[in-house]
Amino acid sequence: MKHVLDHIHGSALPATATGTVASYIPALAKADPSLLGIAVVTADGEVFSTGAAETRFTMQSISKVLALAYVTDRMRRRGCLLPGRAGAKRRSLQFHDPPGNQRCHKPFNPFINAGAIVVSGLMPGSTPEDKGARFRAFVGQLIGRDDVARDEEVYISEKATAARNRSIAWFLKELGILPGEVEETLDVYFRQCAVSVDALDLARIGAILCTDGMDPTRGVRLLAARTTRVIKSLMVTCGLYDGSGEFAVDVGIPAKSGVGGGIMASVRDRMGIGVYGPALDQHGNSSAGLEALRRLSEELDLRVL
Ligand code: GLU
């Protein structure tokens, strides 16, 4: 496997030159566009990586998957089901698309900012700091680290420039959809997006999803099986913004990207995959990361669709 990853790294690396790093959050523009990291954690807990697999970056939209898992598991324990509240339609795929369904008063999709901000508003805790810390502890539980940190510079940078997300949140408030106070809920959202991980961490999370919620290395259940099913279905239909359809055809596995350059993917019963490449294509997905996943899917026959 290590040999396969090294080979794929070499052949996907030129695709870094076809993308550009995100700059609408100014701190993200500092990333090195020439990087590519690939990591795999198998269903039986073996770990393989190559390239910049241990370079830290912010989760950005990949945090939407974990926030949904976190809140869904918690609400199920209290007898509610989240997608009923945050919506689960593959309706609009640009990450910043506005709001939702005014008639039924819910946003369409928890992987699009409007839905994700509602999910952030449902996180447990007393203050944004507390909610952010609890969310990081949850992420730490999944990836087996107790030092999961927030990238302070990216967090402050997004918070200072998020006019569009602010307008989405105020619109949601006006529709009566957004729980909590607008700035506080946005603060929770910015904190979750700025959680710092590497490609290995993403592969570990993908491996948990691939075994329907079990931790392959420790053999304990970390997520309810139904939660993982909801999440993986959303990943298939809308994990890569407007690139989701093409990705389903080309690669054929559940995946979620973020504008920090990460993509987290999961192949049922086989492996979790994490890739990092901050140069993004026109849809906001890592260009070299996509190329690596295409080649990996082909080489290892990973397609499940
Ligand atoms: N924090 C980013 C935003 O809301 C996340 C976007 C993304 O990764 O797609 O704009």
From 63, 135, 158, 191, mutation site for ligand 1 pocket: most ligand atoms within 8 A of C-beta: 158
Nearest CA to ligand 1 atom 10: 96
Of 37, 38, 42, 20, give the one whose Cα is nearest residue 29: 20
| Closest among 171, 157, 160, 152 to 113, alpha carbons compared | 171
Do 8 and 295 contact (CB within 8 A), yes or no? yes
Residue 243, both tokens: 């690139």
Residues in the ligand 1 pocket, defined by CB under 6 Å: 60-61, 95-96, 113, 158, 165, 193, 258-259, 284
- Assigned token pair, 41: 């954690």
Ligand 1 center–CA 193 separation, angstroms: 7
Task: Compute the distance between CA of residue 302 and CA of residue 305 in angstroms, rounded to an integer.
Answer: 9
Question: Cα(61) to centroid of ligand 1, in Å?
Answer: 5
pLDDT digits (tens, 9 = 90+) for 100-123: 544 444 566 889 899 999 999 999
Structure tokens belonging to residue 43: 């269903």
pLDDT in tens, 227-251: 999 999 999 999 999 999 999 999 9
Active-site residues, by number, are: 61, 64, 189, 241, 259
Distance 300 CA to ligand 1 centre (A): 31
Instruction: Spell out, as residue ranges, where the chain has pLDDT lower than 70.
Output: 75-108
Q: What is the pLDDT of residue 286?
A: 98
